[in-house]
Chains A and B, each alone.
Chain A
Amino acid sequence: DVKVTQSSRYLVKRTGEKVFLECVQDMDHENMFWYRQDPGLGLRLIYFSYDVKMKEKGDIPEGYSVSREKKERFSLILESASTNQTSMYLCASRVPSRYEQYFGPGTRLTVT
């Protein structure tokens, strides 16, 4: 079974802090994704990565950056956290030849 893990289930940070969210998958998937999920807005794509050191902006990249130095790890970085980045963050991975995505359990981030 594919396993996607995220570094924290719950995280509380202060406004202005730099925040790192880590995602690791164990199935050698090339593609990885970061979403945020908010009530009434559904899932929105922040960034995705085709492969190591490759990244593409999603629909809402402002205020975020990403890093993919190793194939199994995809990090989401909030350079200076703001209260409007309080959300549930979900990481996913897939192989390019198959369309279904495998999700981690999510990180609920609160910025105060």
Chain B
Amino acid sequence: SQQGEEDPQALSIQEGENATMNCSYKTSINNLQWYRQNSGRGLVHLILIRSNEREKHSGRLRVTLDTSKKSSSLLITASRAADTASYFCATHSQGGSEKLVFGKGTKLTVNP
């Protein structure tokens, strides 16, 4: 079952601009993760935020989590053409399940 839903489905920006992607989910979570997938390749883990955290940074990435609204956002600052990829949020539910539930992704295009 799909829990995370990303918004927008597609986003096109110019190099140097910031890109914001949102994710909503339905049930209580242990943590939320963001992954990147270049076209035709496997997923790469970007960042994990735990349910008791509100914000986390990693380089040009900033992730926020609002558990009251069951939502998260991923901000990529000063985007580059190499950031062109699909971005997925994935939730790890409370209760000890080993399963990650992925959203359908946001396709980001950064134009040079």
| A59-B1, A99-B33, A106-B40 given; A45·B99 CB < 8 A | yes
- Of the candidates A48, A90, A99, the one whose C-beta lies within 8 Å of that of B43 is A90
B12 to chain A, nearest CB (A): 18
Among A45, A99, A105: residue with most chain B CB under 10 A: A99
Contact code string B38-54 (vs A, CB < 8 Å = 1, else 0) = 00111111001000000
Q: Is the CB of A42 within 8 A of B103?
A: yes
Name the CB-closest residue of B to A90: B42
Q: Is the CB of A99 within 8 A of B31?
A: yes
| B-contacting residues, A69-101, CB 8 Å | 90, 92, 96, 99-101
> Considering only CB atoms and an 8 Å cut-off, how many residues of chain B contact the other chain?
23
Q: Is the CB of A43 within 8 A of B88?
A: yes
Alpha-carbon gap, A99 to B91, bound state (A): 10
Q: Which B residues are in CB contact (< 8 Å) with A56? A: 98
Contact code string B59-94 (vs A, CB < 8 Å = 1, else 0) = 000000000000000000000000000001000100
Among A50, A90, A100, A101: residue with most chain B CB under 10 A: A100
A98 to chain B, nearest CB (A): 9
Q: Which A residues are in CB contact (< 8 Å) with B43? A: 43, 90, 92, 101, 103
- Of the candidates B1, B33, B40, B48, the one whose C-beta lies within 8 Å of that of A108 is B40
| A58-B99, A106-B42 given; A42·B88 CB < 8 A | yes
Q: Which A residues are in CB contact (< 8 Å) with B101? A: 45
B-binding residues in A (CB < 8 A): 4, 31, 35, 40-43, 45, 48, 50, 56, 58-59, 90, 92, 96, 99-106, 108
- Starting from the known contacts A41-B104, A99-B100, A100-B45, 9 additional A-B residue pairs (CB-CB under 8 Å) come to A4-B42, A35-B102, A42-B2, A42-B88, A42-B103, A58-B99, A103-B42, A106-B40, A108-B40
What are 19 A-to-B residue pairs whose CB atoms are below 8 Å?
A40-B104, A42-B88, A43-B43, A43-B102, A48-B99, A58-B99, A59-B1, A90-B42, A90-B43, A96-B98, A100-B33, A100-B48, A101-B43, A102-B45, A103-B42, A103-B43, A103-B44, A104-B42, A106-B40
